[in-house]
Chains A and B, each alone.
Chain A
Amino acid sequence: MGRLLVVDSRDLTEYAKGPSLPLLVEELCRQGHDVTLFLVENGVIAARRGAAAGIAFDALSDTGAHILADDVSCRARGIRELAPGVSPSDLDHLADKIADGFDNILWY
Chain B
Amino acid sequence: MHNDDPVHKARKRVRRVAIVLSTGSYQREAPTTVLRLAEKLLERGIEVNVWAFEEAVTLTNREQIEHNEPPSLKPVLGESHAPVGRFIDQLLRAGLHGAKMDWVTCILCAQERGVEKHQMGGAIVGTLGDLWKFVGGADQVIAIPAYR
Chain A interface (Cβ within 8 Å of chain B)?
A: 1-3, 9-10, 32-34, 40-42, 72, 91-92, 94-96, 98-102, 105, 107-108
The chain B residue with its CB closest to the CB of A101 is B11
- Which residues of the partner chain B approach A101 to less than 8 Å between Cβ atoms? 11-14, 139-140
Q: Are A98 and B17 in contact (CB under 8 A)?
A: yes
Cβ of B6 and Cβ of A1 under 8 Å apart? yes
Chain B, interface SS category = mixed
B93 cross-chain contacts in A, Cβ below 8 A: none
B37 and A91 contact, CB distance less than 8 A: yes
Closest Cβ–Cβ distance, residue A35 to chain B (whole Å): 10
Shortest CB–CB separation between residue A79 and chain B, in angstroms?
15
Taking beta carbons and an 8 Å cutoff, which residues of B are in contact with A? 6-8, 11-14, 17, 28-30, 33, 36-37, 40-41, 43-44, 46, 139-145, 147
Does B142 lie within 8 Å of A105, measured CB to CB?
yes
A-B pair count, CB < 8 Å, reads: 64
Given contacts A101-B14, A107-B144, contact A9 B7 (CB under 8 A): no
Overall SS of chain A's interface? mixed
Question: B residues within 8 A CB of A91?
Answer: 33, 36-37, 40
B37 touches A95 (CB 8 A): yes
Nearest-neighbor residue (CB-CB) of B12 within chain A: A101
Query: Which A residues are in CB contact (< 8 Å) with B14?
Result: 98-101
**A67 → chain B closest CB, angstroms:** 17
The CA of A100 and the CA of B11, in the complex, are separated in Å by: 7
CB of A10, distance to nearest CB on chain B (Å)? 7
Central interface residue in B6, B37, B43, B44, by most chain A CB within 10 Å? B37
Residue in contact with A105 in the complex, picked from B28, B29, B46, B141, CB distance below 8 Å = B141
A-B contact pairs, 14 of them (CB 8 A): A33-B7, A34-B8, A41-B28, A41-B30, A94-B37, A95-B37, A98-B14, A98-B17, A98-B37, A98-B41, A99-B41, A100-B13, A101-B14, A108-B145
